[in-house]
A and B are shown apart, each in its own frame.
Chain A
Amino acid sequence: AQKVTQAQTEISVVEKEDVTLDCVYETRDTTYYLFWYKQPPSGELVFLIRRNSFDEQNEISGRYSWNFQKSTSSFNFTITASQVVDSAVYFCALSEGGSGAGSYQLTFGKGTKLSVIP
């Protein structure tokens, strides 16, 4: 069974501060995919990143960066110089690979609500 834990329920930061959102996952598969999504107040999920289990390279995209560490089963997300527009709920999700019946299903963490205060 797969599980995603986002221990931080809510985080508040002042604009321009850096913030890291934690994500810890559990899976028995050796092939799996990890995702981060942003959900602004409008409700629509915005895809941020996908990582497969064989690619442990960290990634940077503008002010966003991701740290994938298989040794600790973590896939943390850092926003540098946060802005008010970053205020949203952020979800980490896991999908196991393979061709079984459960393939392609996404298991979401409970989400972290980020509030960036001007």
Chain B
Amino acid sequence: GAVVSQHPSWVICKSGTSVKIECRSLDFQATTMFWYRQFPKQSLMLMATSNEGSKATYEQGVEKDKFLINHASLTLSTLTVTSAHPEDSSFYICSARKFGAFYNEQFFGPGTRLTVL
């Protein structure tokens, strides 16, 4: 159990367009989901924490108007990169915390590779 999916797995878009990435917990309910960004050969950096039914909490330096996060249900969170630019090209990874989990464990999605031309 505890599978997290992301869609799409990769996307190429033109500069100025918006891209939506979906993160789903397939076999459990996730009250909290996390979005990370990973640039090549670097570590995962937390972008925001999203709780179902409430506004996301963004980390310092992350533009909330550019990276729109919606956590509309206990199994789905979406990240929309608005007016994407080449510097937004990165590997975006989501994770989900299982509702009622005792341990601080997050289940990670397979990631979405975004390339902005």
Residues of chain A whose beta carbon lies under 8 Å from any beta carbon of chain B: 33, 35, 37, 42-45, 47, 50, 52, 91, 95-97, 101, 103-111, 113
* Cβ-closest 6 pairs across A and B: A95-B104, A45-B108, A44-B110, A43-B111, A33-B104, A110-B43
A104 and B97 within 8 A (CB): yes
Does the CB pair B57–A101 fall under 8 Å? Answer: yes
Main secondary structure of the interface of B (DSSP, over half): strand
- Report the minimum CB–CB distance from B59 to chain A (whole Å): 9
| Closest residue of B by beta carbon distance from A94 | B104
Does B67 make an interface contact (CB < 8 A)? no
Q: In the docked arrangement, what's the CA distance between A50 and B101, Å?
A: 13
6 pairs of residues in contact across A and B, judged by CB atoms under 8 Å: A43-B111, A45-B93, A47-B105, A101-B57, A106-B44, A109-B43
B31 and chain A: residue at smallest CB distance: A104
User: Nearest chain B CB to A61's CB is how many angstroms away?
Assistant: 16
| Smallest Cβ-Cβ distance to B107: which chain A residue | A47
Binding site for A on B (CB under 8 A): 32, 34, 41-46, 49, 57, 91, 93, 95, 97, 103-108, 110-111, 113
Q: Determine the distance from Cα of A29 to Cα of B14 in the docked complex, in whole angstroms.
A: 45
The docked-state distance in angstroms from the alpha carbon of A47 to that of B32 is: 18
**Chain B residue at smallest Cβ distance from A46:** B108
Residue from B41, B42, B44, B46 having most chain A Cβ neighbours under 10 A? B44
Tell which of A96, A106, A113 touches B34, judged by Cβ atoms closer than 8 Å. Answer: A106
Known: A45-B93, A104-B97. A50 touches B105 (CB 8 A): yes
* Complex CA distance for A104 and B111, rounded to whole angstroms: 20
> A45-B93, A45-B108, A107-B46 given. 14 additional CB < 8 A pairs?
A33-B103, A33-B105, A35-B105, A37-B108, A42-B110, A43-B113, A47-B107, A50-B103, A101-B57, A104-B97, A104-B104, A106-B46, A108-B44, A110-B42
Residues of B within 8 A of A103 (CB): 104
Contact B32 A104 (CB under 8 A): yes
What is the minimal beta-carbon distance from A94 to any residue of chain B, in angstroms?
A: 10
Contacts of A50 in B (CB 8 A): 103, 105
